[in-house]
Chains A and B, each alone.
Chain A
Amino acid sequence: MEDFLITTAKVLFIFGLNMGVFAPLLTWVERKQSALMQDRIGANRADILGFSMIGLFHPIADAIKMLAKEDFIPEGANKIMHTLSPIICVVPALLTFAVIPFGGEYVIGGKHIKLVIADLDVGLIFIFAISSLATYGTVIAGWSSNNNWSLLGSLRASAQMISYEVAMGFTLVGVFMVYGSLQLTQIGAAQESFFRWGIFLQPLGFFMFLACAIAENKRAPFDVAEGESEIIAGYFLEYSGLKFGMFYMAEFLEIVTISAMVTTLFFGAWHIPFISSALILSMLSFLNETLANIILMLIHISVFWVKVIFFIWFQMTIRWTLPRFRYDQIMKLGWKILLPLSLANILVTGIVILILQ
């Protein structure tokens, strides 16, 4: 019963944070950040009783607008699949968080608590498996809309996602070769000391993973699948109202997921550089064990989310900095550069590990 409650609390925490904080807030962040980067002011018109709060009410206004809009299904569209595809898009983005640890292991009230919803032995493969399902959302969305632009967008999306999935898988092989585990909690725990962080052990892997992950998420510079200027909006062209909002929600949730994965795999998960958790515990030794552990847990959780927020910022910066790749450039980058490089990365990592043994 206690375990059940703890797991429920964890699920509610992650779900609430993602759906309640990140998904709505990122719509605001994207507008505001792009505005600041381009010397503009950005969204600030929505207000409640005259308080505009630097535009923080815009997500609420957006939500109300989307709820009030007509839910339009085009003629000749497959109604079931048209309705199903936004859900297929959102669910994988949320599911991947099940295996990402947002803190270490703590002893609270004589109970060992791991801050991860499901500590799977195959964590990384689980993430790949689930995120590869997100392809169906876009593919079915484009196909079921009965619109040429949508179909073109979904074809582009599926080809791009298949191509980059392969490279993404290979880039992370290096990571779990170094840490000797697929379990994300173990990978996180192995990065206790600063110089064991993934970015130092797998620098090439980090850049390649980030590129592949952004391509998987179909955001600029890899957003030919949406390409407003050429195929209008691509696969979600025929969507309106909340279904349209769900595609955006999926995109933003995926940003959070990518940031969390990058943090966990390459940037020391919940660890603070040069300050080990044992040091914090010894500093808090005047408190009793449970209280000290709770404080440590809160520190670790906030450190983790600060890192995640930094990478969200970084992804947004990339999105508003780089122009869109041409389609052949995307394919070339995926198959001719990233894939061989990731294979070479595996080879070099293997050789280095063999030498060090």
Chain B
Amino acid sequence: MELLIFFIFGGVAVLAAFLMIISWNPVAAVLNMILVMFCLAGLFVLLNAHFIAAIQILVYAGAIMVLFMFIIMLLNLRGNEPIWKSRDKNVLLSFLGFLLAVGAFIKLFSTLKASGLNQGTQIGEDFGTTALVGKILFTDYLLPFEIASILLLVAIIGAVMLAKTKID
């Protein structure tokens, strides 16, 4: 049963990701990306990490992708516009993307080979709960957490400054 659900979520995620890349319509691409986020959240639930799953939907699907959509709608991009079409002619970008993908796959396979499949690890009873995630976040990973928050603060201040100079 669990395996079946895993394959459904995984399959839909891969399919949606593929559709996202090939679709000419930017809004359709965004919607496909939301579907990918959903499937990832489903996979997180299968891994007993409810908190991460909920956050995944809340932050990525619920907030960030809405902003993407907002901007796409503001720009009102249509699939047949010349600027939009020029992306497949950019050889350098395609090459770089290809390199990146190959690198990612090599890393993925090497990690899988090193760890070995079918080796289940024991997890605690409270794995994935909000309390445990919070505890880990504020003890073991306090420094990365703080760094990330400072990064976000910098981004916010930067955005405000950029907006301000435009008005004046």
Contact = CB atoms under 8 A, between A and B. Distances in A.
Interface of A: 78, 81, 120-122, 125-126, 128-130, 132-133, 135-136, 139-140, 142-144, 151, 154-155, 158-159, 161-162, 165, 182
A122 B61 contact: no
B55 interface: yes
A182 B69 contact: no
A120 B55 CA distance: 14
A135 B61 CA distance: 10
Contacts of B62: 128-129, 132-133, 135, 165
A132 B27 CA distance: 18
Contacts of B70: 139, 155, 158-159, 162
A113 B51 CA distance: 24
Nearest to B69: A139
Contacts of B21: none
A125 B129 CA distance: 12
Contacts of A155: 70, 73-74
A26 B76 CA distance: 37
A208 B67 CA distance: 24
8 contacts: A78-B25, A78-B27, A120-B50, A125-B54, A136-B69, A139-B73, A140-B27, A162-B70
Contacts of A182: 130
Contacts, number: 75
A345 B165 CA distance: 32
B67 A130 contact: no
Contacts of B55: 125, 129
A128 B130 CA distance: 15
A162 B63 contact: yes
A159 B66 CA distance: 9
Contacts of A130: 57
Nearest to A139: B69
B66 A135 contact: yes
A130 to B, nearest CB: 7
A235 B73 CA distance: 13
Contact of B130 (A121, A158, A162): A121
B66 A132 contact: yes
B31 interface: yes
A121 B27 contact: no
Given A125-B55, A128-B58, A158 B66 contact: yes
Contact of A122 (B50, B63, B76): B50
A58 B84 CA distance: 50
B63 A165 contact: yes
A338 B44 CA distance: 33
Query: Which has the most chain A C-beta neighbours within 10 Å: B25, B34, B51, B67?
Result: B51
B40 to A, nearest CB: 13
Contacts of B73: 139, 142-143, 151, 154-155, 158
Interface string B68-95: 0110011010000000000000000000
A195 to B, nearest CB: 26
A179 to B, nearest CB: 13
| Candidate in A81, A133, A151, A155 with the most chain B CB atoms within 10 angstroms | A133
Given A139-B70, A155-B73, A121 B58 contact: no
Interface string B120-150: 0000000001100000000000000000000
B158 to A, nearest CB: 17
Given A122-B50, A133-B57, A133-B61, 17 more contacts: A78-B27, A81-B27, A121-B130, A122-B130, A125-B51, A126-B54, A128-B62, A132-B62, A133-B62, A136-B34, A139-B70, A140-B31, A143-B73, A155-B74, A158-B66, A162-B70, A165-B63
